[in-house]
Chains A and B, each alone.
Chain A
Amino acid sequence: MAPSVHYHCPCLSNSTTPPPPHLPSSSYSFHPLHTLFFCEECDAVRCNRCVSVEVSTYYCPNCLFEVPSASVRAEKNRFYLFVHKMPCNVLTRRRCARNCFMCPNCRNTLSVVPSDPPESGDGRLAVPISTVGEPPFFLYCNHCRWDSAEVGITFEKPTGLAAQLQKFEDSAPDSLEFERLKDHFEPFIRASSLSSSTTSHAVAHPSSAAHSHHLHSNSITAAASAALARDIPGVGKYNPLARSTSSRGIGVSGRDRSVNKDEMAEYRSRVEIAKASVVGTGGGDADVEFMRHLENVSEVASLDQRWENSWVTSLQTSDLKPLRIPLHSKRSKRCPACTHILIKPEQKAQSVRYKIKLVAANYLPAITVALPHAQKALTEAAKRTLGKSTSAVEDDKTPATGMVAGKTYPFHLALTNPLYDPIQVRLSPQRLNISTAPSKDGPPEKARRPPFVISLPTSTFPIAAFAEAWEYDDDEDMFGVEEGDDFGIRGGAREKDGRSTRSKTVGVLEKRANVTIVGGEVVIGKEAQGNVKFNTLVSYTYRSDDPAPSESNDGDGPSIPQGNKPPEVKTFAFYTVIDLGPIIPREDSKSVPDV
């Protein structure tokens, strides 16, 4: 597990301070920077959870055919005509309705291929140059070589496959049975809604209490009120009056009294499960036999290959049918507070650009965290594996990259400024989080003593402005942002020379281009467990609108601007959670490789 930095979005709670990081639920308040948005109006971070979503287009991710968004949003009558004219009514299944299918076996995209010319029969493969394929066509997976002819699906022509298959789907046994069920219940429902007024005499009936109760608790029952007009066997008294109303019931054969308590006519299934299962579907004896003699797991389709079928299906992988490719949507997102659009993609499915894009990465400094000792160990390990001795050494690898309780480790935070102006950053780790820990950490003695202590430079430090040119140049060329050095000395107060002395761990370590690397240190307690994970408030000041490269001397003070345009300096603060990874308990650091 690589160490990570996630950013807080306060949408889940009312308070601005984030939940303590040891709570499992806190992970839902923190997000990777690249998933966050920034609302300029509200001057706030927004996450995917709090934004409101609008769909602008539906499209097939495979053929990029798009369904106009209007159709989806409006869904008014006049629109249907339009949908109808489309070559494929994509809305039907929320699936691509052209020629796009997925392999049921490996979920790769299927391609349509013609059949091979008939073999010459002499055993030797005749390979005519530039064969012209001939019908029937079938779907073919280039990855696992599944083809639809295996399950008996072939096509007369290579276009409009979905339409050709639609007929097949329409006649699926589940749809047919469903319609039959509907037909079975419809007269009953209709009758009951008609009779609901006429059965009012039931109020006087002893079972009326039950009646009203059930009306209250379940309105399927209400719909079935024809049944409710009569009494329940074993419930209350037998009432001849009610009996007469039950003559609406259809079952008549009366020797066994309880046979006909159902008012419903008996439903006769189109395909009974007992018959269907004979051929090896539905979990009957045939399936059991198949399972008993199973030789290879892959012969049985996995759950997610089967679970969408409401109809009993064969267990076997060899019976899977091609899947349609589900549509994807392009979504625009709005700020929940001011309803300004945060991100809006271009309508066309083929385009990957955005009309509006207010992503947090353009506003907040990007922070990455690294553990130098772990990196060193990893590179060494990589060297070792390169040097061919792949076999050994997992044992000492884990402690090398992990953090053992009772030790002290340095870590590096690299902050990247996305703004065109230099910024002043101040980090303040949230220390009180440990004291609020008791509930989750279980044993009280651990709660009393903080499991680890973080030291980070507390004074502000600068990060140079972002310049487009740096994106194209090598890192080395961009070193000499000369003013940066001054700040390094002032900012990382404990160090005389931030860049040269690597032995110092806390403070500004390195500055180049628009990146500043800050060193921190974690002292892990002897009894510590869990992850080294702490919240940090990052506040930065920036000049709100001064695109000219400033001589950023005005950033001396922690946050009080001294520049020539004081009102234009703003401060923004946000919380992050920094996760340095798990602590390896001291005693069993050898025996339990902590993963």
Chain B
Amino acid sequence: MSGSPATPRGKTTFNPTTPATSRIAGAGIVQASPHYTTTRRHSLYGVEDRVVIDPGSIIWKVGFSGEGKPRSVFHPGGANGSPLWNLGRAADPVERAEEDRILEIRLQTSLRSVFHDSLLTDPKARKVILVEHPLLPLYIKDTIARLLFENQVPSVSFASSHLLSLLAIGRITGLVLDCGHLESVALPIFAARPLFPQLQTTPLAGSRLTSHLRALLLMFGTYLPPPTSLSAAVNIPAANRSTRVPQDVLTAKVVEEIKTRCCFVGDILKGANETSGRETPSEDFGSEMDAPISDAAHSESDFSHSGFDSVVSSHGDSSEFSIIPSSHTRPMNKSSGESHLQALATMYKRHSTATDLHMRVEPPPSQQTGTGRGTLIIPGWIRERAAEVLFEGGDVDEGSLAETILNALLKVPVDLRKTLASSILVTGGTAMLPGFIPRLHAELLHSIAPPLAQTRETNRHNRPAPPQYDKYASLRPLVPYFAILNNPSPPPPTSDRASANAGKAPAFSPSTLAWVGGSLAGSLKTGGVEVAREKWDENDVNRNDEDSMDVTMESPQRTKSILPDWTRATLPPGAPMVNPSKSAQAA
């Protein structure tokens, strides 16, 4: 029963590329384990195994509890992967009602397909565990719950995704950073208690990466259209055909594919350590340089505007084309955005050795002459450095990922810091980028490093240097203890604790950790606050009776909602949850 690693399966099953071990006949030993048959039967034929749904804004993972992996993963928004919801919500009530309607319809379609297509199970028969992101907007949660109950689900449990992720690696304490699509959220959890007030968030996540990648490709990518005619026997050299990347080519699907198949995260920028050349995000290139970031000591030398010119000249073929400002995505609206990207490009190019890639893409409609696909050339440095945007903080509201973690640590009670710093867990789809987690570790150390001495600081605008603000000084003693539990390539340990923790998590992929945790919680018969259908129906009837006036406007009157929600939980006066954060700030 112990499943001890000494049994042969421990070796046979891992690394299936060795032909000898993975021959099916060879795996027969596994059947000998009585453990297997029992648990399996249980999970096969019982209905006590619950449906675990991890609903993200662009990817859903669904399956049955007690299983090691989800049965189905899909884009709820259809093949083009448009998000079901995003961070904004229309202010205008009419528009908002419209948004809500669409959301509800799409959610309903998705939930139906979960039961009918993915799991082939009757919703009436199975309880549901909903993996709940702590910042999942309430109206969405409410809608999902309502739709589930309308489908006659017996009960719905809500479980925090961060806590579930921790469970999936066999722990109940840790600092969990979920780097998803819309936002990255760091949440400290101690002894299975999520310390919600200490939660830290930043919008630097998958969707930001997507828009950054798109902007970079529009500026620096090259596109070779398909030949205009098949019968033309002339060979036009590729250099003459190459054009800038048309907008239409970079559909959401193509960008997503580039992100997931071509991108990775390189090492920390080499020059960064000496110059502290950390860029601000694109929005605030010129204006907010003195924002209180850890390393406000900025040096522009690394990517000065003279560098910008050189880029243009070196990019002869692309500079012939005038840049249409409207062609850029949101972060690039300002004219400074472009020069900023140019500056980034010079720097990134210097720090990248990755190969350029050719990708076949559907040509824009004007070029669809039936002569095949066009070719998109993705520069290697974009592949390697597009994700830099996630590691560059700047705005106070948009701290880098490392800063998000550090800020969370700052808020945590002092006694817990060491424990949490040495058990950081990174989850979420964006963390699946190769090299992401090792880089994050390096960034943690980099961000916590003391700001540079004033001597190197030649202030750009001849403004007086801002006073040295050493935000993370109090965390600096923790440096040797930093350890990311699921770091695939942990750096040489600097303390016993770090070596005992870094990279010791089971090798579940970051994106599915929350789901696996949900499955685990389900099989352990625990897992979040359960809301039974009877209770919901009862509540529903009451609500309908009372506010019969506004049946259509449901959301505002939901104060009596029976769904669990940590943001609405009334804390008793002087509750312990409030104090530590105060004491931490005092500390």
Residues of chain A having any CB pair with chain B under 8 Å = 12, 23-25, 28, 49, 53, 55, 58, 72-73, 75, 80, 83, 89, 91-94, 136, 151-156, 164-165, 167-168, 170-186, 189, 206-207, 209-210, 213-214, 216-224, 227-228, 232-236, 256-259, 261-264, 267-277, 279, 281-288, 290-297, 300-304, 307-313, 315, 319, 321, 326-327, 329, 331, 388, 390-391, 394, 439-440, 593, 595
Instruction: Please name all residues of chain B whose beta carbon is closer than 8 Å to the beta carbon of A170 when the two chains form the complex.
Output: 30-31, 36, 40
Q: A274 CA to B457 CA in the complex, in Å?
A: 39
Instruction: Please name all residues of chain A whose beta carbon is closer than 8 Å to the beta carbon of B272 when the two chains form the complex.
Output: none
Picked from A25, A136, A183, A210, the residue with its CB within 8 Å of the CB of B3 is A183
Binary flags per residue of B1-33, CB closer than 8 Å to A gives 1, else 0: 111010001101111111101111101101100
Q: Given contacts A210-B576, A234-B415, A258-B419, is CB(A269)–CB(B504) below 8 Å?
A: yes
Q: Given contacts A218-B160, A308-B72, A593-B366, is CB(A209)–CB(B572) below 8 Å?
A: yes
Which of the segments B234-242, B260-268, B461-469 contacts the partner chain? B260-268
Instruction: Please name all residues of chain B whose beta carbon is closer than 8 Å to the beta carbon of A183 when the two chains form the complex.
Output: 1-3
Q: Given contacts A153-B24, A178-B68, A267-B171, is CB(A310)–CB(B435) below 8 Å?
A: no
Residue contact A219 to B527, C-beta cutoff 8 Å: yes
Instruction: Please name all residues of chain B whose beta carbon is closer than 8 Å to the beta carbon of A174 when the two chains form the complex.
Output: 68-69, 508, 516
Q: A290 CA to B489 CA in the complex, in Å?
A: 14
Q: Which chain B residues in 245-270 approach chain A with CB under 8 Å?
A: 248, 256-257, 260-266
Instruction: Give B158's nearest chain A residue, CB to CB.
Output: A218
Residue contact B120 to A94, C-beta cutoff 8 Å: yes
Instruction: Give B565's nearest chain A residue, CB to CB.
Output: A217
Instruction: Give B168's nearest chain A residue, CB to CB.
Output: A181
Instruction: Please name all residues of chain B whose beta carbon is closer than 8 Å to the beta carbon of A218 when the two chains form the complex.
Output: 159-160, 163, 192-194, 528-529, 564, 566
Q: Given contacts A151-B17, A154-B24, A282-B507, is CB(A185)–CB(B193) below 8 Å?
A: no
Nearest 7 interchain pairs by C-beta:
A267-B170, A274-B503, A234-B413, A284-B488, A277-B488, A174-B68, A310-B69
A-B contact pairs, 16 of them (CB 8 A): A91-B44, A152-B23, A153-B24, A164-B25, A167-B30, A170-B40, A171-B27, A173-B14, A177-B506, A182-B39, A259-B497, A269-B505, A290-B434, A311-B508, A329-B116, A595-B365
Instruction: Please name all residues of chain A whose beta carbon is closer than 8 Å to the beta carbon of B31 when the two chains form the complex.
Output: 167, 170
Residue contact B506 to A439, C-beta cutoff 8 Å: no
Residue contact B527 to A220, C-beta cutoff 8 Å: yes
Q: Given contacts A213-B577, A308-B70, A310-B68, is CB(A173)–CB(B436) below 8 Å?
A: no
Q: Given contacts A152-B17, A218-B564, A220-B527, is CB(A270)–CB(B437) below 8 Å?
A: no
Instruction: Please name all residues of chain A whose beta carbon is closer than 8 Å to the beta carbon of B585 when the two chains form the complex.
Output: none
Residue contact A272 to B434, C-beta cutoff 8 Å: no
Residue contact B17 to A312, C-beta cutoff 8 Å: no
Instruction: Please name all residues of chain A whose beta carbon is closer than 8 Å to the beta carbon of B248 when the two chains form the complex.
Output: 595
Q: A283 CA to B35 CA in the complex, in Å?
A: 32
Does B418 interact with chain A (Cβ within 8 Å)? yes
Picked from B102, B105, B524, B577, the residue with its CB within 8 Å of the CB of A189 is B524
Binary flags per residue of B32-74, CB closer than 8 Å to A gives 1, else 0: 0001100110001101000000000001000000011111110
Residue contact B68 to A311, C-beta cutoff 8 Å: yes
Instruction: Please name all residues of chain B whose beta carbon is closer than 8 Å to the beta carbon of A165 when the two chains form the complex.
Output: 24
Q: Given contacts A25-B98, A25-B101, A72-B120, is CB(A234)–CB(B515) below 8 Å?
A: no
Residue contact B579 to A89, C-beta cutoff 8 Å: no
Does B571 interact with chain A (Cβ within 8 Å)? yes
B84 CB, min distance to chain A CBs, angstroms: 14
Residue contact B569 to A213, C-beta cutoff 8 Å: yes
Q: A376 CA to B416 CA in the complex, in Å?
A: 75
A222 CB, min distance to chain B CBs, angstroms: 8
Does B207 interact with chain A (Cβ within 8 Å)? no
Q: A300 CA to B432 CA in the complex, in Å?
A: 13
Binary flags per residue of B431-443, CB closer than 8 Å to A gives 1, else 0: 1111111100000
Residue contact B116 to A291, C-beta cutoff 8 Å: no
Instruction: Give B431's nearest chain A residue, CB to CB.
Output: A283
Residue contact A282 to B27, C-beta cutoff 8 Å: no
Residue contact A312 to B159, C-beta cutoff 8 Å: no
Does B303 interact with chain A (Cβ within 8 Å)? no
Interface centre among A165, A184, A219, A313, by most B CB within 10 Å? A219
Does B523 interact with chain A (Cβ within 8 Å)? yes
Residue contact B365 to A274, C-beta cutoff 8 Å: no
Instruction: Please name all residues of chain A whose beta carbon is closer than 8 Å to the beta carbon of B523 when the two chains form the complex.
Output: 182
Q: Given contacts A165-B24, A167-B30, A269-B169, is CB(A288)–CB(B434) below 8 Å?
A: yes
Does B372 interact with chain A (Cβ within 8 Å)? no
Residue contact B36 to A182, C-beta cutoff 8 Å: no
Q: Given contacts A264-B172, A296-B357, is CB(A220)–CB(B98) below 8 Å?
A: no
Q: Given contacts A171-B13, A296-B357, is CB(A273)–CB(B70) below 8 Å?
A: no
Instruction: Please name all residues of chain A whose beta carbon is closer than 8 Å to the beta carbon of B510 when the two chains form the complex.
Output: 283
Instruction: Give B46's nearest chain A residue, CB to CB.
Output: A75
Residue contact A23 to B22, C-beta cutoff 8 Å: no
Q: Given contacts A217-B529, A303-B261, is CB(A273)–CB(B69) below 8 Å?
A: no
Instruction: Please name all residues of chain B whose beta carbon is closer than 8 Å to the beta carbon of A173 when the two chains form the complex.
Output: 13-14, 507
Q: A188 CA to B25 CA in the complex, in Å?
A: 37
Instruction: Please name all residues of chain A whose beta carbon is closer than 8 Å to the beta carbon of B14 when the two chains form the complex.
Output: 173, 271, 276
Instruction: Please name all residues of chain B whose beta carbon is closer than 8 Å to the beta carbon of A23 when the two chains form the complex.
Output: 98
B72 CB, min distance to chain A CBs, angstroms: 7
Instruction: Please name all residues of chain A whose beta carbon is closer than 8 Å to the beta carbon of B521 when the two chains form the complex.
Output: 220
Q: Given contacts A89-B44, A283-B433, A292-B355, is CB(A300)–CB(B506) below 8 Å?
A: no
Does B317 interact with chain A (Cβ within 8 Å)? no
Residue contact A155 to B171, C-beta cutoff 8 Å: no
Q: A130 CA to B303 CA in the complex, in Å?
A: 70
Q: A363 CA to B264 CA in the complex, in Å?
A: 56
Picked from A151, A185, A270, the residue with its CB within 8 Å of the CB of B520 is A185
Instruction: Please name all residues of chain A whose beta carbon is closer than 8 Å to the beta carbon of B287 when the two chains form the complex.
Output: none
Q: A128 CA to B40 CA in the complex, in Å?
A: 46
Picked from A49, A151, A283, the residue with its CB within 8 Å of the CB of B436 is A283
Q: A415 CA to B49 CA in the complex, in Å?
A: 52
Does B228 interact with chain A (Cβ within 8 Å)? yes
A316 CB, min distance to chain B CBs, angstroms: 10
Instruction: Please name all residues of chain A whose beta carbon is closer than 8 Å to the beta carbon of B212 when the two chains form the complex.
Output: none
Instruction: Please name all residues of chain B whose beta carbon is closer than 8 Å to the beta carbon of A92 when the two chains form the complex.
Output: 44
A19 CB, min distance to chain B CBs, angstroms: 9
Picked from A287, A310, A593, the residue with its CB within 8 Å of the CB of B434 is A287
Does B530 interact with chain A (Cβ within 8 Å)? yes
Q: A218 CA to B192 CA in the complex, in Å?
A: 9
A297 CB, min distance to chain B CBs, angstroms: 5
Q: A582 CA to B354 CA in the complex, in Å?
A: 43
Interface centre among A155, A293, A309, by most B CB within 10 Å? A309
Residue contact A307 to B40, C-beta cutoff 8 Å: no
Does B273 interact with chain A (Cβ within 8 Å)? no
Q: A73 CA to B120 CA in the complex, in Å?
A: 10
Residue contact B509 to A171, C-beta cutoff 8 Å: no
Residue contact B572 to A291, C-beta cutoff 8 Å: no
Instruction: Give B196's nearest chain A residue, CB to CB.
Output: A217
Residue contact B489 to A284, C-beta cutoff 8 Å: yes
Instruction: Please name all residues of chain A whose beta carbon is closer than 8 Å to the beta carbon of B530 when the two chains form the complex.
Output: 219
Residue contact A75 to B264, C-beta cutoff 8 Å: no
Does B414 interact with chain A (Cβ within 8 Å)? yes
A202 CB, min distance to chain B CBs, angstroms: 13
A436 CB, min distance to chain B CBs, angstroms: 10
Does B94 interact with chain A (Cβ within 8 Å)? yes
Picked from B434, B504, B509, B527, the residue with its CB within 8 Å of the CB of A274 is B504
Instruction: Please name all residues of chain B whose beta carbon is closer than 8 Å to the beta carbon of A216 when the two chains form the complex.
Output: 529, 564, 569
Interface centre among B170, B369, B433, by most A CB within 10 Å? B170
Instruction: Please name all residues of chain A whose beta carbon is closer than 8 Å to the beta carbon of B504 when the two chains form the complex.
Output: 268-269, 272-274
Instruction: Please name all residues of chain A whose beta carbon is closer than 8 Å to the beta carbon of B159 when the two chains form the complex.
Output: 218, 220
Instruction: Please name all residues of chain A whose beta carbon is closer than 8 Å to the beta carbon of B70 when the two chains form the complex.
Output: 308, 310
Residue contact A270 to B5, C-beta cutoff 8 Å: yes
Does B173 interact with chain A (Cβ within 8 Å)? yes
Q: Given contacts A264-B172, A292-B353, A292-B355, is CB(A307)–CB(B511) below 8 Å?
A: yes
A75 CB, min distance to chain B CBs, angstroms: 6
Binary flags per residue of B416-435, CB closer than 8 Å to A gives 1, else 0: 10110000000000011111
